[in-house]
Every structure is written in C-alpha cells, then in structure tokens.
Chain A
Amino acid sequence: MNKNMIAAACALLLLVMAGSAQAIQQYLTSEQFLTEAFGNEVSKPQALWLNKETAKQVEKILGHAPHQTRQRYWRTGNSSAWILEEIGKEEPITAGFVVTDGRIAQARILTYRESRGWEVRYPAFLKQFQGAQLQVDDHLNQPVDGISGATLSVNAMVRMARLALYFDRLSRAE
C-alpha cells in the first residue's frame, strides 16, 4: 500500500515537472515555417497597416484591440503567410498560417509558452484548419473540435486562423 502511494506521488511529481517543462517550447523558427511554406524562395516581408475601420474588425475577431497596427506578411503567388501571436490563458502562443486562395493551407504552432494546452501543436488538431474559409460573419466555415484541458489555447488558435484569413483578404484588396 505504502509503495503504491509513493509510486503515485512520484508519478504526480513527474507529471507536474513535465507540465512545467512544457513551458516556452519553440517547435519551429519563423524561417523554418516560411521555408516549409514557400521552399527556398521566401519573398521579402510586406506590411499590412490597420486603419480605424480594419482595427475595429480585428477587435471583433480577437475580442480585444489589436496589439499592433502594422502586420508583417509574406506573399508568393496566391499564397500568403502570417505569423501571429495571441494569448491562450496567460502567455502568447505564436502560430503560423499559410493562406492560399482564401483558404487555410497550413497551420503550425511556432512557439508555445503556456504550461497547459500544448496538445494544440499536434498535426491531428492542426489539420482541422486546412481548407477553412472565412464566412460573411468572419467566422470559420468549418468546425474545429476542442481538446479537453486546452480550451483556451484552441480558442486562441481559432481566433488567429480567422485573423489570418481576414488579413489575407485585406492584403489581396490592397
């Protein structure tokens, strides 16, 4: 009985340590993400500037005012790449999205800083964004299944996916 209790305590301790070790994990650098998206021909970055009207729309999508008024992006042909940051619970998640012809072609987690919810980096979760488009109400046209224990990170990823699609639409209109 005592041995079982000690083993359980050790397992719990390891779990807590594993949890804290998950904090601030860089899975991809921005160069790696861009090379993955465009091969070796990564274009020069371009800037998308927000005005009062577009900043208001971004606020609707994110639920808070945009952190910055200039967004950097990369475009090659019909594809654009966006590296965005959004807070899950307390720390920002850095994610990259490739949008082709108004649909998400690829979603990746670059850096994850939260202590819980890192399951959003798994391809099985990220695949759900592929092909997603923006509806008229600026929501995704396809559902994204949540992950128990990672709800806030999932929500942050959905907000960033919507934002990438909105930014892509803006950049194409410029």
Chain B
Amino acid sequence: MIRFVRHWHARAGVIAALFLLFLAISGLVLNHTDALSLAKREVKASWLMHWYGLKSTVPKQGYLFKDGFLAAADGRWVMDGHILREGAEQPPLGAMTWNQARVIAGAEALYLYTAEGQLIDKLSDAELPGKPIRQLGLAGDKLVLATVRGHFSSSDALTWQPHDGEQPTWSSLQALPNAELKEVKQAFAPSLPLERIILDLHSGRIFGRYGPLLMDLAAIVLVVLSLSGVWIYLRTVRKKPQH
C-alpha cells in the first residue's frame, strides 16, 4: 500500500508543484498590488485583448483645437494621441482653444488643460454658473457656457456673468483628419490593468469558464497530497526500528 501511495504522491506532487509555484508567485505579486502599481499598468497586447474578446471603438469624429484634437469613446478621452481621462462617465460636449488653454466641457464639469495635457483647473459644482452644461462656445475672447439656467460668459473662467453679448461660436463634433486617425486608433486600442490579468491568472478565470474548476482541481490535489504526505511520514516513523 505504501509503495502505491508513494508512487502516486510523487507523480501528483510534481504536477501540483507547478500549480503551487504559479499560485504562490501570482499571490505574492497580488499581495503588493499598490507597491507594484499593478492597477495603473495597462496591458495592450493585441493577442491578449483578442483572448478576452475586447474590441476597440475608434471614434471618427472629435473636437478640433487650433493645433490638435480631442476624441472620446468608452469613457476614454484622448487629446493629441495621449490618454487624458479614463472612466469618464459622460462624453465631452465641447472642446476648444481659449487663450493659451484648451477647454473641455462635460455635462458636470469644465476642464482647462495646457496643450501638453497638464490640468490647469477643473470647475464643477458651485464653480460653474449652472449645471448641466449643454454647450461650450466662444464670443470674442470670452468663454461661453450654455446651461439649463441660461448662457453665461467669463473672461477668466473664475467668475461668470449672464451672457447677452455677441452670438457665440459653439464647439461641435467634426470629422477627425485622416492624418490623426492612426494615432486615434492606437490610443483607443483596448487595454486592461495588469492587476486584472494577474487576478484572472490566479483564479484561473483567464482560461474561460473551466479555468476556476482547473484551479479547484489543483487545490483538491494539494489537499490530497498534504494528507498522503502526512500518512507516508507517519508510516515511515512507525516502521523505524527502535533501538
């Protein structure tokens, strides 16, 4: 009997060791998610995204600045090929160049960026003359917001007055130039945080619906191995000749 158990204990042990190593290493990495910034590291490998069934939505329209563009899809805002925001709940309603800044309006907030993508200021709640914002426009050198409370203009994006001056030029969606489409395509390529991929590897979910079952099986094998190991040890100790 002991020969039989030893035989299978060794073979199952080698196979289970692979799973154990894999689980231990992935578990160790997941234990230090924050230190390793796993949530912030985006993986874009096309074969992996294909495996997850993720497809990119590439917008063909966007907002044009004097020397750049803003495009948005699936909660991602991309300015000049660089990701500006992720997980935005609503798409931008307008974007335009104002003085040296690039202004982007969402329904609930107004963002001021530099051309390099550095946030200058974000105006929301009481900093806005009214919400939701419906349109963003320019009247001379004044920024104009169309809100549910009416039209308001500002020359510094700090204080707002009811706008009753010249007719604003409203920002509107335009076809993105062909030259930008390659950049847009790259920027909207699907991606997943590394943390999610390692979590799925650890749980087996990356291998589809049967992956977790495979990991369950490996766990059961480990339990059996622990028991058989203890059993073999006890048998060996008992059989030792006593002096």
Contact = CB atoms under 8 A, between A and B. Distances in A.
Contact of B119 (A44, A46, A68, A72): A68
A155 B120 CA distance: 25
A30 B120 CA distance: 20
Interface residues of A, number: 12
In the complex, which of the residues A45, A46, A70 has the most CB atoms of chain B within 10 Å of its own CB atom? A70
Given A29-B126, A70-B112, A45 B120 contact: no
B125 A30 contact: yes
A31 B122 contact: no
A44 B120 contact: no
A70 B120 contact: yes
Contacts of B118: 69
Interface string A18-60: 0000000000011100000000000011110000000000000
A44 B159 contact: yes
Interface in B82-118: 112, 114, 118
In the complex, which of the residues B112, B158, B159 has the most CB atoms of chain A within 10 Å of its own CB atom? B158
A70 B113 CA distance: 10
Contact of B156 (A29, A31, A47, A67): A47
Interface in A113-132: none
A30 B159 CA distance: 15
Contact of A47 (B114, B126, B158): B158
Chain B interface category by residue count: 10 to 19
B159 A68 contact: no
Contacts of B158: 44-47, 72
B216 interface: no
B183 interface: no
A70 B125 contact: no
A69 B127 CA distance: 16
B121 interface: yes
B126 A72 contact: no
B122 A68 contact: yes
B127 to A, nearest CB: 7
B121 A70 contact: yes
A68 B125 contact: no
Interface of B: 112, 114, 118-122, 125-127, 156, 158-159
13 contacts: A29-B125, A29-B126, A44-B158, A44-B159, A45-B158, A47-B158, A68-B120, A68-B122, A69-B119, A70-B112, A70-B121, A72-B127, A72-B158
Given A47-B158, A68-B119, A69-B120, 16 more contacts: A29-B126, A30-B125, A30-B126, A30-B127, A31-B126, A44-B159, A45-B158, A45-B159, A46-B158, A47-B121, A47-B156, A67-B119, A69-B121, A70-B121, A72-B127, A72-B158
